[in-house]
Structure 1
Amino acid sequence: MPELVGPNQGAWLRRLDLERENLIAAHSSCVRTKDGGELGLRLVHSAKKYWSNRGLLGLRHRLTVEVLAHAGARQPTLARCQALLSAGQVCCFMGRFREAMGYLQECLAIGRKLDDNGRIGGALQYLGMAALGEGDFAAARGYLEEGLVVAEVLGDKREVAGASNALAQLDRAEGLLETAEPLYEKVLALAHELGDRESIAIALLNLAMVAVGRHSADRARQMLLEVIEIAEETGSKRVGQSVLEVCTGLASSNLECEYAARFYGAAEAQTAQTQLRRDPADEAFLAPLIAKAQQALGTAQFATAKGAGSALSYERAIEEASTWLKGDS
């Protein structure tokens, strides 16, 4: 569904909200039908961005794994390769890095057999993320640097943006902000060229974390306010959850530790619902700032503020974050 990554993605996502039960029913029909394997593979590939945008990672994982196990879906076709990449991607989003490796290695093998640089590059990007999640920085860099070369040879702006972002994440996880930042700026420029609102938001989130790391609070605030606008426009729970996490870090950096604890509680409540886990770069950014806020407040006060945040609805939490970022709180 190419419309899910273009300038009209918000409208298309809302349209699919109305068809959600039909999507699930179509999947069930594919899984039950002897000849439904290939169609099921194509369906999980087409709908993957919808499930992730709406924070339904557990459902996306289940549907993808079910169809990959179908007897009619086991041939090394392009459709299987695409579904394997989707499975590896969602496992990475959920922090299931070792499981992701299995799907991605098979995807890479099929991609090389088919000489499909799009699938080869995608597999390399997420193999890099999985290796980073497993703590193997050297392997991660090898995968990601090769992935960027493949994307540049392919000449696809979306693939170049994805590969550049993945390499920037590794640089940021290693504390190399001076090399991560220009890569994120490149991703942002490409996302604007593509008109991909969610990718614009992700690039801005990453740049905001760099800004927090450099104590550029005003720059981070402006970026986060723009991200909230995009999250509200597209209905992206994934982006909204990340806003709350970056607000946590910004508040702690500014010594507004009660806000940090409150936003952290709201973000963790969303994590429990969406199953979207912070990637290693984001965890490296946030963990010391959470520890800083907890030390400043004391364990009891931090827990109280965190609990108050976790009780907020998603909509209320985003509203509070927006008010705080504008300085109206």
Structure 2
Amino acid sequence: LAVFRGGCNRESARAVTGATLPLLAGLIDKSLVRRRQATAVARYELHEVVRQFATEKRQAERPASDSNGIPTSGLAQDDAWLAHYAYFYQLAATAKQNLHGNEQLHWMLVLDEEYANLRAALDRCLRTKDFARGLQLALLLDEYWYTRGYHGEGLQRLLTFLQANTISLPALAVANGYAAAAILAIAGGNYMAARTYLEQAVTPLRQQGKQVSLARALRYYGLIALHEADYPAAEAYIAEAVQLADAVHNPYEAATSLSHLAEIALIQQEHGRAQELGEQAVQMLRTIADKNQLAGSLRRLAQAELHQGQLAAARRNALESLLLNNEVGDPRGVAASTVMLATILAADAAWPAVAQLLGAAATLLTQAQATLLPADQLVHDETWGRLTTAWPMFQSHFDAGRQALADRRTPPYDLEWMQVLVEN
């Protein structure tokens, strides 16, 4: 049981260690294990002193280094850690398969609960120089890292495995790894690094005919071009991504790319086209029940509707976007939706509410160490300019908004006060 971090449930205890329920009950009776039940599934955890003792004993029996101090190679040297890795690899693989459908929230919460164990598995792969297993597990967590705002951690872990010994790693895994690193770098605002990573991903993906992965990588190239205000290049990359996704019948990738095309149209003030693209994306995402990406597409649609004078629809879609982002736990998405709502309220000159919402968004972005996407940043800057010009006394309300979310660093946030501001 010492291989677990953050505890285990009955299923993982049996799968990894062979521990039965009577055995766990006996350990509880002896005060070696504690049982806690914050959710429907009970978790079991060694008391920390016991865990440290057990860990030291295992290390003495199975040293991590040979007599010359050279680390042993790979998890295969340790049956318990290999079983731990195998269990949590399969859990992460199942989660990834379900992150674009109606089970999305459930599996995000499963990954939340087991994240300490997933981190432990990654750390062990690094310590034992088992880079191939480490990279394969990291690739299953890229979307989780992106959604939860763990951009820096995810990027660092991916690069550690990719750059440790790429010669021995499968070429496709390396290509997918650099593509995953690219979107995490983009989320952190490091577009130059993202381009470098993509240069190591696109050619192998083309050569191996991996259409979905290639569509994703081209979409990332489009986001970089969008940031650089090279709109023709951005549209070309993302349009090709749509074609590839349609060809292999992948509605998630197609809808995500359509939403980015709507973003480009908005920046170029093609509001009618942006609304049409946004509506297509929203319809597709509602069909597959992907709440996370649906939230982003709703925000883009709300922005187009606002420019078309459809304030009620814009408010409704932006509010739904906010609540969905909060439900799936995307802090950057919550911030962007908050900015969108502030912009909608600015149309009614509701400056105190606008200031509070922009303050809350600033706190969210600071906590997540994230930047807004170009279209969202443009909306923010325009609304900020209007606020500071029209209502110079904004500072106290802005500070109140910043403070409103300061005590909660991760989603879900208490957003009831925002709903009251918007609905009133």
**TM-score after normalising by structure 1:** 0.92
1:324 matches 2:421 = yes
- 1:4-26 Cα shifts (integer Å, max 9, x gaps): 22212212212221111112111
Task: State the match for 1:9 in structure 2.
Answer: 104
Q: How far did 1:237 drift?
A: 2.6
Is residue 228–residue 240 contact of structure 1 (8 Å, CA) maintained in 2?
yes
Task: Give SS of 2:269's match.
Answer: coil
Instruction: Pick closer, same or farther for the CA change 1:232–1:136 going to 2, 3 Å.
Output: closer
Once the two structures are overlaid, the 10-residue window that deviates more, 274-283 or 236-245, is: 236-245
Distance in 2 between the 1:113 and 1:90 partners? 24
- 1:171-228 Cα shifts (integer Å, max 9, x gaps): 1121111111111111111111212111221111111111222332211221133234
Distance in 2 between the 1:169 and 1:176 partners? 10
Listed as ranges, the matches of 1:278-289 within 5 Å are 278-289=372-383
Q: How far did 1:75 drift?
A: 4.4
- 1:43-74 Cα shifts (integer Å, max 9, x gaps): 22211222222222222222222222121576
Distance in 1 between the 2:329 and 2:338 partners? 15
Task: State the match for 2:74 in structure 1.
Answer: none
1:312 matches 2:404 = yes
Aligned counterpart for 2:213 among listed residues 115, 119, 124 = 119
Task: State the match for 2:251 in structure 1.
Answer: 157
Listed as ranges, the matches of 1:96-245 within 5 Å are 96-245=190-339
Name the % identity: 24
Instruction: Pick closer, same or farther for the CA change 1:229–1:270 going to 2, 3 Å.
Output: closer
Is residue 309–residue 317 contact of structure 1 (8 Å, CA) maintained in 2?
no
Is residue 326–residue 413 contact of structure 2 (8 Å, CA) maintained in 1?
no
Task: State the match for 2:5 in structure 1.
Answer: none
Aligned counterpart for 2:384 among listed residues 290, 301, 313 = 290
Once the two structures are overlaid, the 10-residue window that deviates more, 221-230 or 9-18, is: 221-230
Structure 1: stretches of 5+ with no match in the other structure: none
Task: State the match for 1:254 in structure 2.
Answer: 348
Residue type matched to 2:262 in 1?
A
For the pair shown, which has the larger CA radius of gyration, 1 or 2? Answer: 2
Aligned counterpart for 1:22 among listed residues 117, 139, 146 = 117
Q: How far did 1:258 drift?
A: 1.6
Is residue 262–residue 309 contact of structure 1 (8 Å, CA) maintained in 2?
yes
Task: State the match for 2:172 in structure 1.
Answer: 78
Task: Give SS of 1:6's match.
Answer: coil
Distance in 2 between the 1:38 and 1:202 partners? 33
Distance in 1 between the 2:131 and 2:380 partners? 41
Residue type matched to 2:124 in 1?
S
Task: Give SS of 1:179's match.
Answer: helix
Q: How far did 1:239 drift?
A: 2.9
Distance in 1 between the 2:281 and 2:167 partners? 34
Aligned counterpart for 1:61 among listed residues 155, 159, 184 = 155
Is residue 183–residue 220 contact of structure 2 (8 Å, CA) maintained in 1?
yes
Q: How far did 1:30 drift?
A: 1.9
Residue type matched to 2:365 in 1?
T
Distance in 2 between the 1:250 and 1:144 partners? 28
Instruction: Pick closer, same or farther for the CA change 1:280–1:233 going to 2, 3 Å.
Output: closer
Distance in 1 between the 2:309 and 2:377 partners? 18
Distance in 1 between the 2:152 and 2:341 partners? 25
1:50 matches 2:147 = no
Aligned counterpart for 1:267 among listed residues 354, 361, 374 = 361
Residue type matched to 1:215 in 2?
G
Is residue 58–residue 274 contact of structure 1 (8 Å, CA) maintained in 2?
no
Q: How far did 1:76 drift?
A: 5.8
Q: How far did 1:268 drift?
A: 0.9
Task: Give SS of 2:337's match.
Answer: helix
Residue type matched to 2:198 in 1?
L
Task: Give SS of 2:372's match.
Answer: coil
Distance in 2 between the 1:106 and 1:76 partners? 13
Q: How far did 1:264 drift?
A: 0.7
Instruction: Pick closer, same or farther for the CA change 1:285–1:228 going to 2, 3 Å.
Output: closer
Task: Give SS of 2:404's match.
Answer: coil
Aligned counterpart for 2:126 among listed residues 31, 39, 45 = 31
Residue type matched to 2:164 in 1?
H
Task: Give SS of 2:370's match.
Answer: coil
Measured on the aligned residues, the alpha-carbon RMSD in Å equals 1.9
Q: Which structure shows the bigger proportion of residues in helix conformation?
A: 1
Task: State the match for 2:181 in structure 1.
Answer: 87
Is residue 165–residue 183 contact of structure 1 (8 Å, CA) maintained in 2?
yes
Q: How far did 1:131 drift?
A: 1.2
Q: Once superposed, which parts of structure 1, at least 4 consecutive aligned residues long, lie more than 3 Å away?
A: 72-76, 314-317
Distance in 2 between the 1:115 and 1:101 partners? 21
Task: Give SS of 1:254's match.
Answer: coil
Residue type matched to 2:108 in 1?
L
Q: How far did 1:317 drift?
A: 6.2
Instruction: Pick closer, same or farther for the CA change 1:145–1:232 going to 2, 3 Å.
Output: closer
